[in-house]
């Protein structure tokens, strides 16, 4: 493993420039609900635990979490998405307003259900809480033609005034390959870098600037198994770059860190920042793409942006629940531990 102390100063300057950066986030806005209960006893009705309700929190998830991370990094973020006229939607808007995130690009529609992922966590008093079940509430249908048109107009107008467009596609219809293609062509966004995180249909996006899939998503998209084979990983990354016509690519690998590709240099293998004994990976991908996009928008190279994203990801997986990494935390992490790479 090679450490790069001189590069730390460059990364700090990139992070310090975040308040000068504006990013439009087009994506599926999700409400992450956490319900905490203290184990009381086993039910007489069925072999299940009875929990005494102790606490409930609702925080931004999915694309909303990416926007939340951008805000905490000091970036001026302009979210574009849809929420329903329901409690989770109202709580997301309230959270955005509290963070002074613009909400004029967030559409509210009575016919739409705000995507809500409810996690039930259980534990004894003074012990760690463990997730025991998750329940998802999703819209019955994709956004209609009117809403899609409104999303297009908001994203186009915001992106023209932004340094980058972050696309967070969780499959609920607010961000689609067709919509992004229309923005690039009809919306004339060819000069605005577009950074993609697509959970299920990455290969349907062609011509975006960069993408940040995790390794299982790459394996599923290409119908391959990578494992610990470096050569196979490099081949997969190069294939994605070619098929999607990307300028750059970052593949995240959990406790094995991430690998950055840019087509001009050899792939860069970056070890995980911090401990590989993670606390919670919920929403870590949103943090990674937020930090990566912000760094690219601030003028970073692919490797520099990946290093910044690696720090942010390492910070957030040590926190419980859906969390963010702040600009201050990033600067402290870079100060304490110079960026590192692995040789092959």
Write the CATH number for 277. 3.40.1190.20
Q: Looking at per-residue confidence, does 220 or 123 come out higher?
A: 220
At residue 12, does pLDDT exceed 80? Answer: yes
Active site members? 286
Question: Using H for helix, E for strand and C for coil, what is the string for the chain?
Answer: CEECHHHHHHHHHHHHCHHHCEEEEEECEEEEEEEEEEEEEECCCCCCEEEEEEEEEEEEEEHHHHHHHHHHCCCEEEEEEEEECCHHHHHHHHHHHHCCCCCCCEEEECCCCCEEEEEEEEECCCCCCEEEEEEEECCCCCCCHHHHHHHHHHHHHHHHCCCEEEEEECCCCCCCHHHHHHHHHCCCCCCCCEEEEECCCHHHCCCCCEECCEHHHHHHHHCCCCCCCHHHHHHHHHHHHHHHCCCEEEEECHHHCEEEECCCCCCEEECCCCCCCCCCCCCHHHHHHHHHHHHHHCCCCHHHHHHHHHHHHHHHCCCCCCCCCCHHHHHHHHHHCCCEEECC
Question: Quick check: is 148 in a domain?
Answer: yes
pLDDT tens figures, 304-320: 999 999 999 989 888 77
Question: Quick check: is 134 in a domain?
Answer: no
At residue 281, does pLDDT exceed 90? Answer: no
Q: How much is the pTM?
A: 0.93
pLDDT value of residue 86: 95
Total count of domains within the chain: 1
Question: Quick check: is 73 in a domain?
Answer: yes
At residue 283, does pLDDT exceed 90? Answer: no
Question: Quick check: is 35 in a domain?
Answer: no
Question: Quick check: is 168 in a domain?
Answer: yes
At residue 321, does pLDDT exceed 80? Answer: no
pLDDT value of residue 125: 77
When the pLDDT of each residue in the chain is averaged and rounded to a whole number, the result is 93
Question: Quick check: is 280 in a domain?
Answer: yes
What percentage of the chain reaches a pLDDT higher than 90? 81
Question: Quick check: is 189 in a domain?
Answer: yes
pLDDT value of residue 280: 58
Question: Quick check: is 196 in a domain?
Answer: yes
pLDDT tens figures, 42-93: 999 999 889 999 999 999 999 999 999 999 999 999 999 999 999 999 999 9
Instruction: List the domain range (segments joined by +) for residue 330.
Output: 2-30+61-115+139-341
pLDDT value of residue 276: 60
């Amino acid at each position: 493993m090679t450490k790069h102390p001189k590069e730390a100063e460059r990364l700090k300057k990139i992070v310090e420039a975040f308040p000068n950066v504006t990013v439009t986030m087009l994506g599926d806005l999700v409400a992450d609900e956490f319900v905490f209960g203290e184990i009381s006893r086993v039910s007489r009705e069925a072999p299940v635990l009875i929990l005494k309700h102790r606490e409930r929190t609702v925080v931004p998830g999915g694309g909303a979490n990416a926007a939340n991370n951008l805000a905490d990094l000091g970036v001026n973020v302009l979210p574009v998405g849809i929420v329903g006229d329901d409690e989770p939607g109202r709580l997301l808007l309230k959270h955005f307003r509290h963070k002074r995130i613009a909400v004029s690009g967030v559409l509210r529609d009575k016919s739409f259900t705000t995507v809500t992922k409810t996690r039930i966590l259980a534990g004894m008093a003074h012990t760690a809480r463990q997730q025991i079940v998750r329940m998802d509430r999703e819209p019955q249908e994709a956004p209609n033609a009117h809403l899609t048109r409104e999303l297009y107009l908001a994203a186009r107008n915001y992106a023209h005034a932004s340094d980058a467009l972050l696309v967070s596609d969780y499959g609920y219809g607010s961000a689609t390959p067709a919509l992004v293609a229309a923005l690039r062509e009809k919306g004339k966004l060819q000069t605005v870098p577009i950074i993609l995180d697509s959970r299920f249909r990455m290969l349907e996006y062609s011509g975006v600037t960069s993408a940040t899939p995790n390794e299982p998503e790459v394996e599923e998209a290409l119908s391959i198994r990578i494992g610990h084979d470096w050569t196979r990983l490099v081949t997969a990354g190069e294939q994605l770059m070619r098929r999607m016509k990307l300028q750059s690519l970052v593949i995240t690998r959990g406790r094995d860190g991430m690998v950055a590709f840019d087509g001009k240099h050899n792939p860069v293998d970056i070890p995980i920042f911090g401990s590989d004994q993670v606390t919670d990976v919920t929403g870590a991908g949103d943090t990674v793409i937020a930090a990566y996009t912000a760094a690219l928008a601030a003028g970073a190279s692919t490797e520099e942006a990946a290093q910044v994203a690696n720090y942010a990801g390492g910070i957030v997986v040590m926190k419980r629940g859906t969390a963010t990494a702040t600009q201050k935390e990033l600067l402290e992490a870079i100060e304490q531990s110079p960026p590192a790479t692995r040789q092959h």
